Structure 1
Amino acid sequence: MKQANLAVIMTCYNRRNTTLTCLHALYQQKNHCDVYLTDDGSSDGTAEAVKEEYPEVKILQGNGNLFWVGGMHLAFGEAIKNQYDYYLWLNDDTFMEANALSKLLQIHQNLTEQGYPDSIVVGSTKDSMTGRATYGGAVKSKNWYSNKFEFLQPSSIIQKCDAMYGNCVLIPKSVAAKVGNIDTAFVHSLGDLDYALRAGKLGCQIWVAPGYVGTCTKNSIRNSWADTNLNILERLKKVLDIKGFPLKSWTIFCSRHSGAFWIFYWFLPYIRAIIGYKNLAISPTFSEDINQTNSEV
């Protein structure tokens, strides 16, 4: 396979050591890449440390209010201007295995040869301590009444899926040309799920790579809207927060992707925040980034 022209898309905020560890693992890959990193106003010296250790990284400066979607939108948009063959979304707390990038690229080449060039390839991650799967792809629940996306356990073979976490995602230029950038109608959550669903509607395929591409610790539900140790008012405040289901973004998402009866799904996270959601094996809204709590669609 010829050397691919590849851009890596990242955003970070006040996780200097984590960001540096992620970049270290990235630069161990055999494939050359250009890194576009949005530093969203970090106060811990992240940008300065990256400049010192990895001067080739293209750092874009945020104002502290971009969050995950805004940061990724800024970096992705800058990279798209240069028309790369591939774009890799990479969370700065995702540490890639040495052959991960080659693996994802080879899978896309195989899919292209099989007649699926407009394919997104999703890499699954696992917890470095427990070995349990944490992030990757997801499939829509088969229950007719459900708008839930369930995590798809990686296997030894490639699997088709409906949606994805944005932790480690390979997007070819043909998909980027069709779908465009991450939609800033979303701020912190829902942007990656929306991107996947828009891609599917435009005829693109989404596939989960076999096995794991690296490690990433799963975010805790503690102190989130799903934490039943908090009182009702605290949970309501958090579910309406940028890192939960803010009214405007959630309304756009539901009206866009939840069918004619979307208003019924719109109420669910707020009802669950009020009554206390007991089932904490939650399927996520898939924006797994800077200190974000998972939640169910």
Structure 2
Amino acid sequence: MIWIVIPVFNRKNFTRECLLSLRKQTVQDFKVVIVDDGSTDGTDEMVKTEFPEVILIDGGGDLFWTAAVNMGIQYALDHGAEAVMTLNNDTLPTEDFIEKTIEASKKDPKGVIGALEIDVATKNVIYGGEKIDWVLATTKNIIDGIPAPKQTGLHPVSWLPGRGLLIPRAVFEKVGLFDAARFPHYYGDVDFTHTALRNGFPNYINYDAKLMTYPEESGDRKNKVKKNLKNYYNHLFSIKGGGNLKDFTRFTFKNCPFYFVPSYLLIGYLRRMGGYFVH
């Protein structure tokens, strides 16, 4: 039994479509927990009326992604969950997504397993896994080095995003929940999965489990659509800024081998400050 945890704030229509896609799964051996953090668009009533099988938790209105996910995870663990999947509401799992994820988990029960992400509009792969090179302060997109016929099955990676992320109970028992104190919104998933890896739980991306996503719905993507000083500031310092320098610094000191910290920080700062204008 997988417990799927979905944090939401407004965007009722995305939540509805996501839940409908879960109803279409070829395998139905899962429970869904939604943590609604103060939605004002009728999300809670929609879930209660249209999806009575879903467990709805009131987040209180002052959470961000990481704390909301933790609330749902804790609920699932308290009710006996042996595996938890985190999922965003702006995703559409393909019909065999859960089935393929369960099949993959049987190959390595200790593994933390992520999904191949595909743009809903273009049908292009937008995330196929990464490996970190601390020396050069770069990440390698592993799918670029895998021929199309071999783009299947499990592939080891350095970390994973929280969209469609399957986590065995043993991981939480070893490393705890997501680090909401340091990473309230961004980096919470990347930090958690890399921490799991350092503690003996390998990270895999599963090319057989496909997750349709809406990349333009990212909070930081919206900062980059219209470039101005306010959005530049938000990109670097806002809690929902993808280039948040404070979060990046905390992640570096927590995860980077200490002898590479100075160079990793310097290169990372320059990329976040300059990259805003070229993407």
Counterpart of 2:19? 23
Asked if 1:175 corresponds to 2:165, the answer is no
1:191 is aligned, of 175, 188, 192, to: 188
2:251 is aligned, of 242, 245, 253, to: 253
Q: CA deviation at 1:71?
A: 1.1
Counterpart of 1:128? 120
Amino acid at match of 2:48: K
Distance in 2 (CA, whole Å) between partners of 1:42 and 1:72 is 15
1:64 and 1:266, CA in 2 relative to 1: closer, same or farther beyond 3 A? farther
Counterpart of 2:69? 72
Q: CA deviation at 1:123?
A: 1.1
Asked if 1:40 corresponds to 2:31, the answer is no
Which shifted more, 102-111 or 153-162?
153-162
Distance in 1 (CA, whole Å) between partners of 2:93 and 2:130 is 20
Q: CA deviation at 1:191?
A: 0.3
Q: Which has the higher helix share?
A: 2
Q: CA deviation at 1:160?
A: 1.0
CA contact (8 A) 1:125 1:135 kept: yes
CA contact (8 A) 2:98 2:209 kept: no
Counterpart of 2:139? 149
Q: CA deviation at 1:55?
A: 1.5
Distance in 2 (CA, whole Å) between partners of 1:222 and 1:6 is 31
Distance in 1 (CA, whole Å) between partners of 2:275 and 2:210 is 35
Percent identity reads 27
Question: What number of residue pairs does the alignment pair up?
Answer: 267
1:215 and 1:81, CA in 2 relative to 1: closer, same or farther beyond 3 A? same
Distance in 2 (CA, whole Å) between partners of 1:273 and 1:160 is 26
Aligned pairs (5 A) from 1:1-297: 5-29=1-25, 30-111=27-108, 117-141=109-133, 144-146=135-137, 148-153=138-143, 155-185=151-181, 186-219=183-216, 222-224=221-223, 229-231=227-229, 234-244=231-241, 246=244, 249-260=247-258, 261-268=260-267, 270-272=269-271, 274-275=273-274, 277-280=276-279
Cα RMSD over matched residues? Answer: 2.4
Q: CA deviation at 1:214?
A: 2.6
CA contact (8 A) 2:113 2:205 kept: yes
